[in-house]
Structure 1
Amino acid sequence: MYDKLLDHIRQNVPATSIKKQIIEEYFTPKLFEKKEHFLKQGYICKFAGFVIEGCYRNYILSTEGKEVNTGFGFENWWLGDVSSFVNQTPTLINTQFLEDTTLLTITAKNHLDLLEKSQCFREYTNKLRSTATTASVLKLSGLSESASTRYKVLLEKYPKIQQRISQKQIASFLQITPEALCRLRKSEIP
């Protein structure tokens, strides 16, 4: 289980010297059931998690109280609200598991301690933040695209998403109705 995180660190920081014992010391494995929440709007993000197995969705509540998906995460992804986690302030997002999910979790205190202790983990964290910032900019720029284009990009980026995420959840992410997604899927079939 810990090897998956070590492999991910090594993929992002090739000359890494971080040891498995350090990961085991700072991270705790946790199992979550499908539909369980990791984060709820208004609460403080006390843990960050690395997905070993499973998937999740991030969503916000619209002013009408409707759930609007803002993203999905899969194996080898991190989850948590960085701002809430670092500053210990209430989060604006909700994170719910779409499958039974196994995480390696780390507390805010352990995260800070590990950043101080390990240069490699600092480099890894900085690289992840840079990647996340780039992804956010690309996501925002994609909002002006048509639903068809957003759907194609989603399928290119996550080819197996339709096997793991319901059409209702995908439609919410694309900000269209499930019926519109059904029509879109039919029109995309060659």
Structure 2
Amino acid sequence: MATREQVDELLAKMAAERASLIRVAEGLSPEDALRVPVDAEGEEQWTALEQLAHLCEMERTYDAWVRAALREENPDLSKVPWQTVPIPVEEANRYTVADLLRQLELERQYTLGLIDGMRLEDFDRVATSPMFGTLTVLQWLRSFYRHDRQHTAQILGRQSDYQPNFKGREPNQRRARLELVARRQQGLG
């Protein structure tokens, strides 16, 4: 069973990685926030603003996955609708770093409230994703700080020391996002 120490460690790492992300983002010039790395692939091709918007979307989506695991026994997360946020990735470059950091702050406040309302045994509940397999709620929540660390490195133009453990090959989220936007514009999705 999850322990109070594990939850405290989770919260401490979430706070530390988010603080690091915020420091890096606040240090960006408007030009740097819109810079696209040369020779990057997938989500590494996103601007810093798009990366921040992606983190907002994923925070809200991870929260939805956790709520699903708290509601039912081992839910199939592919059936949980993708969560939308006020500033989606495809619109991020029209906003400022400060706008996106405010959105991240709101998302994190919700996440911390969700965690605060959980009992220790809730952290042991599981949910299954086609991309990541079956994980406990505690493992899903650890994704928050690991994901922040990954994108902080990408914003800095470095390879992250954390890489998600996908089942199979990592999807090209940037291409998938562009395809989704195109379908929406055509009225197909």
User: With structure 2 as the length reference, what TM-score do the two structures score?
Assistant: 0.26
Which protein, 1 or 2, shows the higher relative CO under an 8 Å CA cutoff with sep ≥ 6?
2
In proportion to residue count, which structure has more strand? 1
Normalised TM-score (structure 1): 0.26
Larger radius of gyration: 1
